[in-house]
Structure 1
Amino acid sequence: MDNSTEKKKWTIMTYMAGDNDLDINGVIDLKEMKKTGSTHDVNVIVQFDRAGEGLQTKRYYLQKGTSLNTDAVQSIDETNTGSPDSLIDFINWGIINYPADHYLLILWNHGQGWDDTDIYAGERGVRERLTRPGRVRHAFFRTSVEQAAKLSAKDKMKERDRKRIESLDKIAEASTIEIPEILVEAEKEKMILELKAGIENTGMKWEDYLKHIKKTEEELKKDWSDNALKRVKHGLILRAVANKENIRVFEQEISQKIEQMLKAVPLEEAKKLDQNRLKDYAYGIIRNEKTFQILENV
């Protein structure tokens, strides 16, 4: 891949959902982008999902003065551009192969991401747009009313969590808590494991992530010292309140929480989980939730 190891100032990523009546427009836009193409300071990369049988999704490193076929650096199987996983994969690929100080992501399509009707009706000769047909999967992050409601619920949960952390911060500031360094170091290790799991779930290797951010694990831990200390204080506060209020967690609650968590885990991965640690984790979540409810009602 051209210039894949040279870090530039910018990498511009264009994610083109062209598996529809915009296919020819996509080709035209690619040629327009090639009029400037990549430069000494800028990488211009594209993922283009085309319409028609036998047309593979291709990734391009666009250059001025070359043919479009020359700029194609990778061909991949049929892609559902409406899937966030496809977009995440493209972004990770771009970051790893075309590193830069800054990144710009362009989402290219009809621009009807919140329209829950059939944008392909005209293509099939249907006058009225129907709701959510089979081919709607090729559209661009189409969000139904139900999904929008879920997003709204997530926003409310984020606001709730923000307020909870704020209340714990106030309690911590008003307290004189001596924190042993061993607890802070243990929390840093936990934070590393959490971040590593999140990175690897996106398909990126941990080593590649560290290379991209130009830090070692030890440097990350050093950067996290204040945050780790805060997390330890929060944990001790919650534990103290739970003990004082004699908060109890029952086996049935733990079983239900574990069952809920495992629904989001592939079966093969679930079999590898340490059941004792999983039980402790579920216990902690339930106890903390009950503790927060008490604090919120004070």
Structure 2
Amino acid sequence: MTVRALVADPAAQEGIGLGEAGDPDPRPDQVLVDVRHISLNRGEVAFASRFAPGTTLGHDASGVVARAAADGSGPVEGARVVVFGAGAWAQRVAVGTDSVAEVPDGVDLADAAALPMAGVTALRTLRSRPILGRRVLITGAAGGVGRFAVQLAALGGARVIASVGSAARGEGLAELGAHEVVVGLDGIDRPVDLVLDNVGGAQLVAAWRLLAPGGDIQSVGWASGEPAAFAPHSFFSLGPSRSISTFGDATRFGPDLATLVEFVAEGRLSPEIGLRGAWDGVAEAARALLGRQVSGKAVLDVEPYRRDAGGR
């Protein structure tokens, strides 16, 4: 038996095509989810060609539990859930119960689908050090991670500086909690305590020069695709050490997903969906993401799973 899925396809536009995958056979600690919505992350789209043809792509999805975990953990059959798991861009996905959270009544499943990778990345990087009363710089703030980070940093009591590529890309960020919205790093004349960098390249180097003693840069993306060339001795400074950290923690998403979806339910966090469509329009959505034409997240609706005479 098979399900429809978005798979790596060298012959398709942007390297992603609608194909088929095996109907998942969950482990005892996994739930089987009928997927309703998925969200695309720019990195996943950009690197789709690195996967073997036929690989089911993606990590972010929301839907309804079709079969509860055999070990008794996690949500029950029929529960509305948001999930993070490899191969999530399919009609059905099996996901460990430690990477699933129930979606509260009143929260749209499409909104929930926008949360996993970008939302948890923003949440976990902001937890790297205290931010109450600190100056937090978020580069690439108009993107998926950036818009979540602006909101969460403001909720945490930070002075939020949102950096974008153009004035148009900065629209709406002040309403989300940014105290300052700048193009590039122009106009930032005081040191910052924490940087969430989504851009890399020359902007990462410039952000390092803005970092206060004891500060940290969390490198979570590299949208520029350019190398970062640091001048000799530029890492030396007197006082408390400064640092650059990388982010790659993609385990046990469930508790953080529960936090994020509860923030949405309480009206404290907006999913910021900038593109919504059907999953057969994935090529157009992928091009829009790669062309930086989407502010926030791209969410696609999935064709419902139906078991027919052919086994689907």
Shorter-chain TM-score: what band?
under 0.3
TM-score computed with the length of structure 1 as normaliser = 0.22
Greater C-alpha radius of gyration: 1
Higher percent of residues as strand:
2
